[in-house]
Amino acid sequence: MDPFLRLLRYATPHRAVIAGAALAMVVYGAANAALAYLIKPIIDDVLIAQRDMRAIAVAILAVYLIKGIGAYFSSYLMEGLGHRVVMVVRNELFRHMLDQSAAFFARRAVGQLLSRINNDVGLIQRAVSETIGDLARESLVLVGSVALLFYYDPKLALLCMTGTPVIVYPLVRFGRRVRTVTRWSQEAQEDMSHVAAEAFAGHRIVKAFGAEAREASKFQGVSWKLFRTNLKVTRVLALLPPLMEFLGGSAVAAALWYGSRQIAIGRLTPGEFTSFLAALLFMYAPIKKLSRVNANLQQAAAASERIFEVLDVHTEVLERPGATALPPFSNEIEFKDVTFAYEDGHGRSTLRGVSFTVRTGQMVAVVGRSGAGKTTLVNLLPRFYDVTSGAITIDGRDIRDVTLASLRSQIGMVTQETVLFDDTIAGNIAYGMPAATPEQIEAAARAANAHDFIVAQPEGYQTMIGERGQRLSGGQRQRLAIARALLKNAPLLILDEATSALDLESERQVQQALATLMMNRTSFVIAHRLSTVRRADAIIVLERGRIVEIGKHDELVARPGGSYARLHQMQLLESKTDSRVLKAVDPKPKAESSR
Ligand SMILES: Nc1ncnc2c1ncn2[C@@H]1O[C@H](COP(=O)(O)OP(=O)(O)OP(=O)(O)O)[C@@H](O)[C@H]1O
Ligand SMILES: [Mg+2]
């Protein structure tokens, strides 16, 4: 379907507005024709016959007033409609993008997505609000003028119309070119937005590696590309008005030549001929505007194509029709022969034949080398991805059969990379529960060992923490994330530990906070620390996507040559040094860390 027609469908609910605008345009077009018509009495009656011109003066005033009213309402209604349509498209686009699966975001850069929302939608905005209004209004002006021309002298009018195909042909030709070149230009803007967004987000690394000049030249590269394509667009667009002007001039010259002979033989009065010429000249402005209409529409079509491309992508994790709410988790979670392959994982399965069961209140530790598939495994539970084969059930119900909202409301999450928002500390803690009271927020913060550092901030709980929590330390960010999960108070908990980045003191605080968080909950913990793993009711050892061992700490350690036993040996050495330091830092270390 033509992208432009598809875009127009967004306007169909606003029939009343369109009808109002159309009426205003008809008034405007008629007033224009009336003005040209009034020139006849001015010349024939007032100038030549010397009659009183008061009536005509009043008529001119009235026509201008009506024309003004028509112009105002047609612009206001049309442009208003344009803005409204564009707002709806923009909101739909944002929501649609946000609904997409993790795979969608893994494939696209933030800067590129932003560019579609900003640049492409912006281009459509211009087209819809200005161009469509112009198209309708100026066409009506043309119709009015042409009608007047035919009224005076059909032959002369036809003569002037012979130029039309000469005008229309290049417009259509140019339109196609404009569409292609506009697409290039929008793509170049997207690249530019991507380069800038990436450099800003990674500004520390850029500086630390002294790569400012390299990033700047990367930016200049894409910026230059944009300049070149914009130049191409301009080259095409700038040709149109002079071309129109020349053709219009030719029509006037032809009319003058023919018209003067008509006056000589008395078939037209001088007033009629002047009025005819005026009508012809009045056509000039609309034609000049209309000459750009097709080009603008083509630009909008190029932008719409890019927007609909995104709107037509469906990678959302979908709810089955008739999905029902998942009742509160009460019994067990089962992974049944789960296999999972990333879409762009080159055909390799990241998880293979994973089966295990977790009962309420248990804590499962997932261990394994980096890249073994631990994060992937836990991401399947809230359905960030769906299993490729096999199934995951909660209390016997396949998680694909329940509503996403009911499933996710039962899961608390602390991710490997802490994600915070540019909001206050309180706002971040209450992210999953916006109605939380300050007391609840503080209780969560205390339980997460975060209260002390929060009150030390300049504005306490109301301190803004900057984009992604930049104004906080790594450990502080993690504790806020834990407080956020605590406040949500979900029965299931997923913890992707990332404690390696912390110093011992903050790690101890984070560990304590995590221990509080896991109390009375069913938890999946991707654990790097012996202290956490030891307490687990079951340890799942993953190796290249397969479960190679599963059991309690003592059983697994006792297996000579087992994967876990090896891992344990390595960690034991580490933890010995750790606990010595811990003791030095804190005379009364927590029970787990000294066990
Ligand atoms: N979005 C993705 N698309 C394709 N492959 C992916 C994607 N995410 C992860 N992988 C691949 O899947 C494998 C498992 O990744 P995963 O993040 O689950 O590892 P992990 O066990 O959590 O490792 P770590 O301990 O380093 O966090 C890796 O080989 C990785 O390259
Ligand atoms: Mg991971």
Residue bearing the CA closest to ligand 1, atom 18:
373
Q: Quote the DSSP letter at residue 464.
A: B
Q: What is the CATH number of the domain that holds 414?
A: 3.40.50.300
Q: What is the CATH number of the domain that holds 263?
A: 1.20.1560.10
Using most ligand atoms within 8 A of CB, pick from 100, 107, 354, 376 the residue to mutate for ligand 1.
376
pLDDT tens string, the chain, 595 residues long: the values are: 688 788 888 888 999 998 999 899 899 989 988 988 888 888 888 777 777 778 888 999 999 999 999 999 988 998 888 888 889 999 999 999 999 988 888 888 888 899 999 999 988 887 777 787 788 788 888 888 888 888 887 887 787 777 677 767 777 777 888 888 888 999 999 999 999 999 998 898 899 889 999 999 999 999 999 999 889 888 877 877 787 778 777 877 887 888 888 888 888 888 888 887 887 787 777 877 777 788 888 888 889 999 999 999 888 877 888 889 999 998 899 999 999 999 877 788 999 999 999 999 899 999 888 889 999 999 999 999 999 999 999 999 999 999 999 999 999 998 888 889 988 999 999 998 889 999 999 998 988 888 988 999 999 999 998 888 888 888 888 889 988 988 988 899 898 876 555 566 767 777 777 777 777 889 998 877 777 788 888 999 999 999 998 988 888 888 877 888 887 777 766 655 554 343 333 334 334 433 3
Look at residue 352 and tell me if it is in a domain. no
Look at residue 554 and tell me if it is in a domain. yes
Ligand 1 in reach of 375 Cβ (< 6 A): yes
Instruction: Report how far ligand 2's centroid is from the alpha carbon of 102 (Å).
Output: 15
Ligand 1 in reach of 344 Cβ (< 6 A): yes
Residue bearing the CA closest to ligand 1, atom 2:
342
Look at residue 132 and tell me if it is in a domain. yes
| 416 close to 498: Cβ distance less than 8 angstroms | yes
How does 132-162 read in b/e, with b if 16+ C-beta sit within 10 Å? Answer: bbbbbbbbbbbbbbbebbeebbeebbebbee
593 CA to centre of own chain: 46
Minimum-distance ligand to the CA of 370? 1
Ligand 1 in reach of 221 Cβ (< 6 A): no
Nearest to 162 by CA among 37, 273, 274, 253: 253
pLDDT at 12: 87
Radius of gyration of the chain (CA): 36
Nearest to 535 by CA among 548, 554, 549: 554
Residue bearing the CA closest to ligand 1, atom 26:
370
Minimum-distance ligand to the CA of 315? 1
Question: Reduced to 3 states, what is the DSSP secondary structure of residue 139?
Answer: helix
Instruction: Report how far ligand 1's centroid is from the alpha carbon of 388 (Å).
Output: 16
Residue bearing the CA closest to ligand 1, atom 31:
371
Nearest to 299 by CA among 360, 233, 219, 206: 233
Range of the domain at 167: 3-311
Instruction: Report how far ligand 2's centroid is from the alpha carbon of 583 (Å).
Output: 30
Residue bearing the CA closest to ligand 1, atom 7:
342
Question: Reduced to 3 states, what is the DSSP secondary structure of residue 389?
Answer: strand
Ligand 1 in reach of 376 Cβ (< 6 A): yes
| Nearest atom (ligand 1) to Cα of 368 | 21
Residue bearing the CA closest to ligand 1, atom 12:
350
Query: From CA 187, how far away is CA 179, in angstroms rounded?
Result: 12
Residue bearing the CA closest to ligand 1, atom 16:
373
End residue of a domain, out of 311, 342, 370:
311
> In terms of domains, do 28 and 165 share one?
yes
Number of domains in the chain: 2
Look at residue 240 and tell me if it is in a domain. yes
Look at residue 542 and tell me if it is in a domain. yes
Q: What phi and psi values does residue 333 have, to the nearest 5 degrees?
A: -110, 135
| 128 close to 212: Cβ distance less than 8 angstroms | no
pLDDT at 499: 55
154 Cβ neighbours under 8 A, 6+ residues apart = none
Instruction: Report how far ligand 2's centroid is from the alpha carbon of 139 (Å).
Output: 62
Q: Which tokens hold the place of 582? A: 């811990």
Describe the crossing of helices 133-152 and 15-41 by its angle, rounded to 10 degrees.
30
> In terms of domains, do 411 and 307 share one?
no
Ligand 1 in reach of 350 Cβ (< 6 A): yes
> In terms of domains, do 39 and 177 share one?
yes
Look at residue 451 and tell me if it is in a domain. yes
At 325, the amino acid letter reads A
| Nearest atom (ligand 1) to Cα of 373 | 18
Ligand 1 in reach of 374 Cβ (< 6 A): yes
Look at residue 185 and tell me if it is in a domain. yes
Ligand 1 in reach of 370 Cβ (< 6 A): yes
**Prediction pTM value:** 0.78
| Nearest atom (ligand 1) to Cα of 106 | 1
- Number of neighbours of residue 370 by Cβ within 10 angstroms: 6
Nearest to 295 by CA among 177, 175, 182: 175
Instruction: Report how far ligand 1's centroid is from the alpha carbon of 376 (Å).
Output: 6
> In terms of domains, do 299 and 417 share one?
no
> In terms of domains, do 297 and 441 share one?
no
| Nearest atom (ligand 1) to Cα of 416 | 27
Ligand 1 in reach of 358 Cβ (< 6 A): no
Ligand 1 in reach of 372 Cβ (< 6 A): yes
Look at residue 198 and tell me if it is in a domain. yes
Using most ligand atoms within 8 A of CB, pick from 104, 339, 346, 374 the residue to mutate for ligand 1.
374
The CA distances from residue 437 to 423, 429, 445, in Å, are 17, 11, 12
Minimum-distance ligand to the CA of 345? 1
Residue bearing the CA closest to ligand 1, atom 24:
370
End residue of a domain, out of 311, 344, 360:
311
pLDDT at 354: 93
> In terms of domains, do 304 and 419 share one?
no
End residue of a domain, out of 283, 311, 339:
311
